[in-house]
């Protein structure tokens, strides 16, 4: 947790139009290549985060959630090329992959596997960091000060 070479990567997915909530996301590591190639992002109120990332290139490859009626479901991004969540971590720090909204397939009703992600202007990086700094896992760690520093940069 307190390794100064780690980076915090976070984002947000609004699942109001989805049949499930969001309970995790997977980041695929494109470079450097690793054995597993995937990192899990935890979720809390739509905020996705991983505070253990090393340097490298990453992008969200899938996210998942559940509901009483629909059960567990995984939402996969297209498997080819780079998507809008792609980031490059060159220095340890705090990286925002963006805020998005789940949108149903154009057919007008939910079809598993058919969705789009819309980039949102709100919530902002600052608004999400203000919420993250209140999460239990942040207290008494390096992230408390690092988030405070990043918030000062954003002011």
The answer as to whether 53 is a domain residue is yes
Structural domain boundaries enclosing 101: 7-124
Q: Residue 152 falls within a domain, yes or no?
A: no
Q: Is residue 60 part of a domain?
A: yes
DSSP code of 114? B
Structure tokens at 115: 């969705």
Residue 64 forms part of a structural domain: yes
Please state the pTM of the whole predicted model: 0.87
Residue 114 resides in a domain: yes
Residue 86 domain-assigned? yes
How do the pLDDT tens digits run along the chain, 155 residues long? 578 889 999 999 999 988 889 999 999 998 887 777 899 999 999 999 999 999 999 998 889 888 777 677 888 876 666 788 889 999 999 999 999 998 876 654 445 557 788 899 999 999 999 999 999 999 989 999 999 999 999 98
d(CA 48, CA 10): 5
Question: Count of alpha carbons within 13 Å of 153, Cβ hemisphere only?
Answer: 10
58 lies in some domain: yes
DSSP 111: B
Q: Rounded to whole angstroms, how far apart are CA atoms 138 and 144?
A: 6
- Residue 138 forms part of a structural domain: no
CA–CA gap between residue 146 and residue 91 (Å, rounded)? 13
Which alpha helices (DSSP H) does 90-141 contain, by range? 125-132
CATH number of the domain within which 81 lies:
2.60.40.1120
Q: What is the number of structural domains in the chain?
A: 1
Give yes or no for a contact between 128 and 10, defined as CB atoms under 8 angstroms apart. Answer: yes
């Amino acid at each position: 947790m307190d390794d100064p070479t780690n980076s915090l990567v976070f984002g947000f997915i609004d699942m109001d139009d989805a049949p499930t909530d969001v309970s995790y996301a997977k980041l695929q590591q494109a470079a450097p290549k690793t054995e597993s190639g995937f990192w899990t992002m935890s979720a809390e109120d739509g905020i996705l985060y991983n505070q253990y990332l090393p340097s490298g290139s990453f992008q969200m490859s899938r996210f998942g959630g559940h509901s009483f009626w629909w059960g567990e479901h995984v939402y996969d991004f297209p498997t080819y090329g780079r998507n809008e969540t792609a980031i490059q971590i060159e220095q340890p720090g705090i990286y925002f992959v963006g805020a998005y909204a789940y949108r149903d397939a154009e057919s007008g009703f939910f079809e598993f596997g058919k969705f789009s992600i819309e980039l949102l202007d709100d919530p902002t990086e600052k608004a999400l960091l203000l919420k993250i700094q209140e999460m239990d896992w942040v207290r008494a760690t390096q992230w408390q000060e690092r988030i405070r520093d990043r918030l000062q940069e954003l002011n």
